[in-house]
Chain A
Amino acid sequence: MNLLLPYIFVIILGTLLFAIIQRRYPHEPLEMIVTFWLGLGSCALATFYTLVIIGHYDRPAIQTVTLSLAGLLYIIYRLRFKSPSSLAKANLTPLTTWLWFLLLAVLFGGLMSIHAAHNPFGDWDAWSFWNYIPRYIILGGSHWPDLYIYGQEAKHPWALPAWNVFGSAWGLGAVAALNIFTRFSSQVFALITLATVFFGILKLTRSLIPALLASLWLLSIPIFTSHSVSQYADILMAGLIAINMLLLVQTACPGTTQADATLLGLLLGLMAFVKDDGILCAAIMFGLLLWSVKLNKKSCLSAFGAFGTVFLASLFIKYWLSLAPDAEHLFHAPQSIDPLRWYLIGMDFWYLFTDRLYGGIVIIPVILILIKFSVGWKKTAGIMANFLIAYLVCFLGFVLIRNNLVNYLAGASYRFIFQLLPLAMILLFTCVDDP
């Protein structure tokens, strides 16, 4: 129960936020996923600002802020909907669809548990950021901002330690139990990502078979299963990229409301709060929103306002980031024209795409290119592909000017592919089913 209590708050806060913005309850599975991310973001931000204002970790303070936030949202919700009947009625997803997903979830859960049991502390990021930073925040008293001042840590995930501290405040409490909470959280995030792929494809293709095949393929990819429970920040990014892209595609459809744009803006802000890569992804998606989707002025302003509201938190942390050691020595632009660097990057990607641990994902770009040059892509697929291409170009640009290329590639390129895997699956199966 203690493990679940933080998630109960996620559901309460997320549902209230969703209902206030959309004027109805979430009734589609994808809307429930959006609700989950909204709730998670609210809890992480509330925890972070409590730490900033109080000056140190204070369990009762975090609990009070959470309850106050829930109360405030409930008052707004009641003021906005004086009669509950004004909320739209639910359009339920068939039970068989849920049963299929349950089957996939059990299979995925089993595979993840095997990996998690073998690797209880996760890999580098998991150990240092998910377990160490919260540990320092909780036990370090007023010294907690030190983490953001010197060293490398300032450049890494911020939402996750805040979420872990929230989990500790509402959950098991003891620092020793942080490890259990992080492991549980990673599995929840991975399942939510799988759900995004399954229900996303189901919504775009209106067919169960592609959704099942894509999900089954995704969960069978060895690196996806293991990395999900060892590098927690990346699974969060993978899930957020997929759901944000689905929201963006939905926003491109006729009949989009201002509320849809606001939700997208909030989740883009959350993505920027999660990781540095998230800031880049949010910027690309925002560019696509303005360029491909062509929203009306009001919706655009709503999206921008929502994005800005959450992004402020990231900027606030950037204040500490600016105090971290400068990273000028990491980059050197002129070396990007060196053919050897292009060759090394090409070989690295070739290795990743063809290695058996990557479960045959080399098929994805091949089929996508074939479809593009034979029948072309529809608008929705085009938007997703544009994002993938833009992100790839940014990544290549970043890698090309990076010093110590070989070491950097070894630690970064597989994460880049991992983050994009769920979205690539959605794009592939949407294209194959209905190009």
Chain B
Amino acid sequence: MSKPFYYFVSVGLLLLVLLNFQTIMQEEALTTLEHTVDNPAEMPGKPFLGLCPFLKDIHVAGYYTDLIYQDNRPSIQDYIFEQAKAALVPTILDRFHPGTHEYVVMYLNNPGSFAQVLTWSDATVVKRLGNNIILLKRLKK
């Protein structure tokens, strides 16, 4: 590459670099890049951490959701379950037989489901986090 062209390209690139730095420093750009900080939808497992103190000595707890599992297909309920079980470990979550455990972690998507759950005669709400996450305690069987 000839020398004048070399300098021309270098100066052009340096200008581009300066423009990029300006973009980084602009508040709007930072907001766009870091929009997920406070967005729980991006991190469905994070809110489950609030149940940790209540499950301290519990080895296995049930996990119940009103989201429908679709024929062995991975989807949003899988994401939520995977994140919930990692957030609550060392308590192991059993999603296949939730009713057989003393404690049941619930993820309810439909507001009507909560009213239905409260009709369970042997269940008391230990902790409710927002509208979706509930920890229930059932009578020992």
Name the residue among A356, A432, A434 with the largest chain B CB count within 10 angstroms. Answer: A356
Contact assessment for B74 and A151 in the assembled complex, using a CB-CB cutoff below 8 Å: yes
A119 at interface (Cβ–Cβ under 8 A)? yes
Residues of chain A lying within 8 A (CB to CB) of residue B42: 123-124, 127
Residues of chain A lying within 8 A (CB to CB) of residue B72: 325-326
B73 at interface (Cβ–Cβ under 8 A)? yes
Give the Cβ gap from A60 to chain B, nearest Cβ, in Å: 19
Interface string of B1-43 (1 = CB under 8 A from A): 1000010011001101101110110000110111011000011
Contact assessment for B87 and A132 in the assembled complex, using a CB-CB cutoff below 8 Å: yes
A29 at interface (Cβ–Cβ under 8 A)? no
The residue on A at minimum CB distance from B59 is A141
Asked if A357 meets B23 with Cβ closer than 8 Å, knowing A123-B36, A135-B89, the reply is yes
Which stretch, B77-85, B104-112, B122-130, B133-141, touches the partner chain A? B77-85
Interface string of A120-160 (1 = CB under 8 A from B): 01011001100011011001110100110011110000000
Interface string of A159-178 (1 = CB under 8 A from B): 00000000000000000000
B50 at interface (Cβ–Cβ under 8 A)? no
The residue on B at minimum CB distance from A152 is B74
Interface of B is mostly: helix
Asked if A209 meets B16 with Cβ closer than 8 Å, knowing A111-B24, A226-B33, the reply is no
A115 at interface (Cβ–Cβ under 8 A)? yes
A434 to B2, CA, bound (A): 11
Asked if A115 meets B33 with Cβ closer than 8 Å, knowing A121-B43, A132-B87, A220-B21, the reply is yes
Interface size class of B (residues with CB under 8 A): 35 or more
Count A-B pairs with CB separation below 8 Å: 117
Give the Cβ gap from B30 to chain A, nearest Cβ, in Å: 7
Contact assessment for B89 and A139 in the assembled complex, using a CB-CB cutoff below 8 Å: yes
Contact assessment for A128 and B32 in the assembled complex, using a CB-CB cutoff below 8 Å: no
Contact assessment for B24 and A132 in the assembled complex, using a CB-CB cutoff below 8 Å: no
Contact assessment for B20 and A133 in the assembled complex, using a CB-CB cutoff below 8 Å: no
A279 at interface (Cβ–Cβ under 8 A)? no
Give the Cβ gap from A155 to chain B, nearest Cβ, in Å: 8
Asked if A220 meets B17 with Cβ closer than 8 Å, knowing A225-B24, A324-B74, the reply is yes
Give the Cβ gap from B46 to chain A, nearest Cβ, in Å: 7
Interface size class of A (residues with CB under 8 A): 35 or more
Contact assessment for A127 and B37 in the assembled complex, using a CB-CB cutoff below 8 Å: no
B92 at interface (Cβ–Cβ under 8 A)? yes
Give the Cβ gap from A128 to chain B, nearest Cβ, in Å: 6
Name the residue among A140, A220, A226, A359 with the largest chain B CB count within 10 angstroms. Answer: A220
Contact assessment for B83 and A140 in the assembled complex, using a CB-CB cutoff below 8 Å: no
Residues of chain B lying within 8 A (CB to CB) of residue A140: 89-90, 92
Contact assessment for A360 and B86 in the assembled complex, using a CB-CB cutoff below 8 Å: no
Contact assessment for A359 and B83 in the assembled complex, using a CB-CB cutoff below 8 Å: no
12 contacts between A and B (CB under 8 A): A115-B33, A119-B33, A124-B42, A132-B83, A133-B86, A151-B78, A152-B79, A217-B13, A220-B20, A226-B33, A357-B33, A360-B20
A-B CB proximity, top 3 nearest: A132-B86, A220-B20, A151-B78
Beyond A121-B43, A325-B72, 18 additional pairs, beta carbon < 8 A: A111-B24, A115-B34, A118-B30, A119-B36, A127-B42, A128-B83, A132-B45, A132-B87, A139-B90, A141-B90, A146-B85, A147-B86, A152-B82, A216-B13, A220-B16, A222-B24, A325-B74, A357-B23
